[in-house]
Amino acid sequence: MESVKTDIDEAMYAALERIRLKIVENINSKGLRASGKTERSMRIERDEYGMRLVGRPYFQSLELGRPAGRVPHNYRSIIRQWIIDKGLSVRMIPYKRQPSERWQPKYSVEERSLRIMAGAIAHTIATRGTLLYRQGGRMDIYSPVIAEEVEQLSRQYTDIIAKSISRVLSAK
């Protein structure tokens, strides 16, 4: 019976690893990769209850989008870093007044423009949600992958158990 548990554990680990790799592939193929933190956060954990694939919080927003509502206190900074990681172009917004001895701007034109863009995006997400959420669409990053693997894993488990029963019966 121990070999059945080992075979099932191996099949589960292999399925979770395939899921992880397919999710990473979907993130990249759909152009959702920015910093790579989401992909790097995915890992397979084992405990007394079995195994599971875990990732960073808000992982589901890749597929469902983010609804309007409360955002973290540093959300503009998060969006600012996302803009940089994604390599988005930022329209420069020059200061209306020229620097002088009496007044020096706090930020360069580039940094100011980046912060304005991040603030606008953060405000839109907080008040209206992401475009993906507003469109009600799904990008199918993980749902079809999981469904496919569960079906395949079910067939594998059936085969493993059938072979085990066959071995027990033939040994008698």
Name the pairing type of β-strands 50-54 and 43-47. Answer: antiparallel
Top-confidence residue, 13 or 164: 13
Q: For a pLDDT cut of 70, what percent of the chain falls above it?
A: 98
pTM: 0.81
Q: What are the two backbone dihedrals, phi and then psi, of residue 121, each rounded to the nearest 5 degrees?
A: -65, -45
What is the reported pLDDT for 160?
87
> How many whole angstroms separate alpha carbon 40 and alpha carbon 38?
5
Within the chain, where are the H helices?
2-29, 37-41, 61-64, 75-86, 109-128, 131-135, 143-171
Tokens standing for 157? Answer: 């488990």
Per-residue pLDDT tens over the stretch 44-54: 999 988 899 99
| Phi, psi dihedrals of residue 46, rounded to the nearest 5° | -115, 140
DSSP calls for 23-62: HHHHHHHTT--SSSHHHHH-EEEEETTEEEEE--TTTTHH
- Contact indicator for 79, 121 with CB cutoff of 8 Å: yes
pLDDT tens readout for residues 107-123: 999 999 999 999 999 99
- Count of beta carbons in the 10 Å neighbourhood of residue 145: 18
For residue 68, pLDDT beyond 90 = yes
Give the residue among 113, 56, 40 at the shortest CA–CA distance from 80. 113
Apex CA 137: angle with CA 26 and CA 67, to 5°?
105
pLDDT in tens, 83-141: 999 999 999 999 999 999 999 999 999 999 999 999 999 999 999 999 999 998 787 89
Can you tell me the mean pLDDT for 55-65? Answer: 88
pLDDT confidence bin for 172, thresholds 50/70/90:
low
Q: What pLDDT is attached to residue 1?
A: 57
Contact 127, 68 (CB under 8 A): yes
